[in-house]
With several copies, the nearest count.
Chain A
Amino acid sequence: MKNKYIDIQLTQETLVLSECVNFVSSDSAGGIVNFVGTVRNLTKGKTVLRLDFEAYEPMAVSEMQKIAEKALEKFDIQKIAIHHRIGVLSINEVPVIISVSSSHRNAAFEACQFAIDTLKETVPIWKKEHFEDGEIWVSANP
C-alpha cells in the first residue's frame, strides 16, 4: 500500500533501508528517524539459529496501514514508511524498518517509537525461533 505519505510493505525480500529513507525524505523535512529491527542471536541464553516470520497477510498490511495513519494524525510528521519481512531470516537480518520524516525532529522520534511499539502489539505477524534442540513460537506462552 502506498500513497504520497505512507508506504507499507510486507515482503519476502531483503528490506532496504535506503528505500525507506528515500520515500520519506523531502526538501522540507528537517530530519528522519529510522528504526531497524535486527534478529538477536540469543534468547534466554540459547543460541538462535534462524527465525520464521509468518503473517496473516491482508490483515497485517491493513494493521500497518492503520498505524501509519494514526501516526500521521497524532504527530506532526510528513511521511512514514513501514516495511516488514516474512519468511526465513538468519541472525542479523532485518525483519522490520520504520522511517519517519518531520520538520522538527521530536515528532519523528515520537512517531517512530509509537509505530514500532504498536506494531509489536497489533500486527498479526508471528515469529518462530529455531534452536539446536527445538523451536518456539515467541511470546505465545506467558
Chain B
Amino acid sequence: MKIRVLCFGITKELLGGFEQSFELAKGSKVIDLKQLLLVKNQTFEKLASLRIAINEEYCEDETEIYENDEVVLIPPVSGG
C-alpha cells in the first residue's frame, strides 16, 4: 500500500520535502516505517527522538498503519 507522510522540522530536510509517499506492506506498523526511514537516510539515527503521529495523535511503535492514515513525522519539538 502507498502511504502519505508529512514531514516537519528537520525531517523535511532529511527526506527532501514536506510531503512524501512510501510503499509499505499491508499490516505494517510504525516501527516498520521507522526502519524504512533509516534506509532512506541514515541521519534519522542521529535524531534525539522521532515520534510518529497518526491522525493527529502520537503512536507507539506497534501501532498499525492504514492506507488513508495521515502519518506525520515528529522530530524533537522545540516550541515555547
Contacts and interface: CB of A to CB of B under 8 A. Distances in A.
B77 A123 contact: yes
Contact of A58 (B46, B56, B76): B56
Nearest to A55: B79
Contacts, number: 80
A137 B48 contact: no
Contacts of B6: 56
Given A58-B56, A140-B47, A122 B80 contact: no
A56 B47 contact: no
B77 A137 contact: no
15 contacts: A53-B79, A56-B53, A56-B72, A84-B80, A124-B8, A124-B79, A125-B80, A126-B78, A126-B79, A128-B9, A137-B13, A139-B76, A140-B9, A140-B75, A141-B48
Given A122-B58, A137-B78, 8 more contacts: A56-B8, A56-B53, A59-B53, A59-B57, A95-B79, A124-B53, A126-B10, A139-B78
